[in-house]
């Protein structure tokens, strides 16, 4: 079509007026939003990927916090997929129930085996014992997958929570994960001479974080910093592990680890677990209001969505769209799952958060204006 004829045709194209009246920036943002939504949904349902990066059939998996909530749901899903599973937590009665449930869920009842180890993972020596016992139980072979799910949240306002309880949350959240990772990686990365190398499949170390590592919510100061520390540990390890994976490629010539290793971290939103019921009891009303956008998921859904993302080979994993937006605004220098998807997500999130950041602060301000100091406020 001759482009000069176009203006004269405009009246006849008047049905397009609403589109022409829309500014290019609105059109651009809409196109971006549509692309990101389509991309995220497609990825969530597994389109565009064929190879499974997380095969667990016949493998041995250690799950900390495997007796309840998300950890238990992960244990059951992996048992169904054919893994041998060791659940670790403190309370033996709950561990025994989880083992019984895994036996019932097992994909192949004759070949799979299940075990439990009771340990308080805030103690690094206990984590060393867990990995040693798991290896002995697995006929001397180190576990193939270690998934850290242990932990719970005790919300409260910073000044109301005694300082020793802040430290305890760091122990329960950060140190259970860091101790487990330390014991695991010391085992996995031990040098093996070329003569001792066998065909060992890739190993996976998985942390369970929270989208609160990305976005602050008032009332979570005992918890969010510990989760943010896990995210930082995960990012640092994902880089450091490349040195060992590089050395592994030379295993026929020189000492190297027995297998290459991949690090992953899951960032759930709320999970309808016993831990969640517990935290609701002490959670400030303001915190509940600020996290209204969160629609908690069942442990089973969180487990399934996380496992699918691991199968696609993702690194930082969110379990629903709002979680992905929260990640997008805070992605910073973390490794991407996909250059295009994560870049578009980052742009979209940063536009969305221009409004979210002042909104959260205004809600907190208006809460104080209306209700005054919280009843739990300490006397000076
Ligand atoms: N619930 C939620 O809304 C969210 C939770 N998360 C995170 O997901 C993970 C699972 O949470 P959730 O499903 O609520 O879990 P639950 O609180 O329901 O269960 C926690 C598990 O961790 C174990 N555990 C706790 N402390 C220790 C310890 N010191 N040593 C060993 N085991 C321990 C518990 O067993 P025992 O007490 O017998 O030791 C239990 O098996 C946690 O890391 C949590 O921070 C992330 C986002 C949201
Ligand atoms: C369109 C995008 C808008 C984004 C708005 C941001 C809203 C914040 C939602 C906070 C969600 C917190 C979930 C994690 C909970 C958790 O880890 C605890 N329950 C601990 O157990």
Which tokens is 297 given?
A: 């998921």
| Catalytic residue flag (residue 109) | no
Q: What is the largest CA-CA distance in the chain?
A: 83
Convert 71-112 into a string of H (helix), E (strand) and C (coil): HHHHHHHHHHCCCEEEEEECCHHHHHHHHHHHHHHCCCCCCC
Burial environment of residue 249 by CB neighbours within 10 A (0 to 12, 13 to 18, 19 or more): exposed
More confident site: 22 or 191: 191
Q: Is 217 in the pocket of ligand 2 (CB under 6 A)?
A: yes
Q: Is 152 in the pocket of ligand 1 (CB under 6 A)?
A: yes
pLDDT digits (tens, 9 = 90+) for 303-347: 999 999 999 999 999 999 999 999 999 999 999 999 999 999 999
Among the ranges given (26-30, 117-121, 229-233), the one the predictor scored with the smallest mean pLDDT: 26-30
pLDDT exceeds cutoff 90 at 275 = yes
**In a 10 Å sphere around its CB, with 0-12 CB exposed, 13-18 middle and 19+ buried, how is residue 146 labelled?**
buried
pLDDT over 70 at 279, yes or no: yes
173 pLDDT above the threshold of 50:
yes
How many Å apart are CA 106 and CA 76, to the nearest integer?
8
Q: Which residues pair with 267 in a beta bridge?
A: 318
Q: Please determine, for residue 26, whether its predicted confidence score (pLDDT) is greater than 80.
A: no
pLDDT of the residue at 4: 46
pLDDT-derived band at 379 (thresholds 50, 70, 90) equals low
Question: What pLDDT, in 10s, does the model give residues 108-124?
Answer: 999 999 999 999 999 99
The answer to whether 131 and 142 have CB atoms below 8 angstroms apart is yes
Q: Which domains does the chain have, with CATH numbers?
A: 50-371 (3.40.50.720)
Which residue puts its alpha carbon closest to atom 18 of ligand 2? Answer: 270
- Cα distance between residue 247 and residue 87, in whole Å: 31
Please compute the mean of the pLDDT values over residues 61-79 and round it to a whole number.
Answer: 98
Catalytic one of 227, 262, 283, 327: 227
Share the mean pLDDT of the chain: 92
Q: How far is CA 161 from CA 65, 154, 185, 228, 321, in A?
A: 25, 9, 34, 19, 32
Q: Which residues in 290-318 are b (16+ Cβ under 10 Å) and which e? A: bbeebebbebbbbbbbbbbbbbbebbbbb
Does residue 181 contact residue 233 with C-beta atoms inside 8 Å? yes
Please give the distance of CA 174 from its chain centroid, rounded to a whole number.
14
Round to whole Å and give the CA distance between 284 and 64: 28
Ligand nearest to C-alpha 294 = 2
> What is the per-residue pLDDT for 35?
65
Confidence (pLDDT) at 6: 43
**pLDDT for res 42:** 62
| Two tokens, residue 157 | 């306002």
Residue 13 has pLDDT above 50, yes or no: no
In this predicted structure, which of 45-49, 128-132, 195-199, 232-236 has the lowest mean pLDDT? 45-49
Calculate mean pLDDT across residues 207-218: 98
Task: Of 177, 174, 191, give the one whose Cα is nearest residue 263.
Answer: 177
What pLDDT shows up at residue 375? 80
pTM of this prediction? Answer: 0.90
Can you tell me the mean pLDDT for 287-314? 98
What distance in angstroms lies between residue 97's CA and the mean position of ligand 1's atoms?
16
> For 64, which DSSP code?
E
For the four alpha carbons of 91, 96, 185 and 173, in that order, the dihedral sign comes to negative
**9 has a pLDDT exceeding 70:** no
Distance 280 CA to ligand 2 centre (A): 14
pLDDT > 70 in the chain, percent? 86
| The pLDDT of residue 47 | 61
Reported as a pLDDT band with limits 50, 70 and 90, residue 50 is: confident
The one catalytic residue among 223, 262, 315, 327: 223
pLDDT at residue 376 in the model: 72
Task: Check whether 23 has a pLDDT greater than 80.
Answer: no
Cα(175) to centroid(ligand 2), Å: 22
pLDDT at 188 over 60: yes
Q: Which atom of ligand 1 is nearest to the CA of 120?
A: 30
Give the residue-averaged pLDDT of 138-160. 98
Buried b (16+ CB within 10 A) or exposed e, 174-188: bbbbbbbbbbbbebb
Q: What is the pLDDT of residue 106?
A: 98
Burial of 245 (0-12, 13-18, 19+ CB in 10 A): middle
Asked whether residue 7 carries a pLDDT value surpassing 90, the answer given is: no
Q: Is there a catalytic annotation at residue 315?
A: no
What order do you get walking across the sheet with 60-64 strand by strand?
Answer: 114-118, 84-89, 60-64, 145-148, 203-208, 261-267, 316-318
ipTM summary value: 0.99
d(CA 81, CA 287): 38
Is residue 208 within 6 Å of ligand 1 at its C-beta? yes
Q: Rounded to the nearest whole angstrom, what is the distance from the C-alpha of residue 60 to the centroid of ligand 2? A: 32
């Amino acid at each position: 079509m001759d482009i000069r004829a176009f203006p004269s045709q405009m009246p006849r194209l008047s049905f397009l007026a609403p589109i022409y009246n829309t500014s290019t920036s609105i059109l651009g943002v809409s196109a971006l939003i549509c692309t990101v939504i389509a991309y995220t949904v497609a990825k969530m349902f597994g389109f565009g990927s064929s190879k499974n990066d997380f095969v667990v059939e016949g493998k041995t998996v250690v799950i900390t916090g495997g007796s309840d909530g998300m950890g238990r749901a992960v244990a059951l899903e992996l048992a169904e997929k054919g893994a041998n599973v060791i659940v670790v937590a403190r309370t033996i009665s709950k561990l025994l129930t989880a083992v019984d449930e895994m036996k019932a869920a097992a994909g192949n009842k004759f070949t799979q085996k299940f075990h439990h180890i009771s340990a308080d993972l805030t103690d690094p020596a206990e984590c060393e014992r867990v990995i040693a016992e798991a290896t002995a139980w697995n006929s001397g072979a180190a576990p193939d997958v270690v998934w850290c799910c242990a932990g719970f949240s005790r919300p409260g306002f910073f000044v109301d929570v005694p300082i020793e309880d802040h430290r305890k949350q760091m122990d329960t959240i950060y140190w259970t994960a860091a101790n487990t990772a330390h014991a695991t990686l010391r085992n996995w990365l031990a040098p093996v001479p070329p003569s001792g190398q066998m065909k060992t499949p890739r190993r996976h170390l998985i942390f369970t974080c929270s989208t609160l590592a990305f976005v602050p919510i008032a009332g979570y100061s005992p918890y969010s910093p510990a989760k943010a520390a896990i995210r930082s540990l995960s990012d640092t390890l994902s880089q450091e592990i490349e040195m060992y994976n590089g050395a592994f490629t030379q295993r026929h010539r020189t000492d190297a680890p027995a297998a290459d290793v991949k690090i992953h971290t899951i960032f759930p939103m709320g999970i309808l677990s016993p831990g969640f019921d517990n935290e609701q009891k002490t959670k400030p009303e303001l915190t509940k209001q600020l996290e209204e956008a969160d629609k908690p998921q069942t442990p089973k859904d969180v487990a399934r969505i996380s496992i699918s993302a691991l199968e696609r080979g993702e690194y930082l994993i969110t379990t629903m769209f709002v979680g992905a937006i929260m990640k997008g605004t805070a992605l910073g220098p973390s490794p991407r799952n996909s250059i295009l998807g994560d870049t578009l997500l980052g742009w979209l999130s940063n536009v969305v958060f221009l409004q979210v950041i002042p909104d959260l602060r205004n809600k907190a301000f208006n809460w104080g204006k209306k209700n005054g100091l919280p009843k739990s406020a300490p006397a000076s």
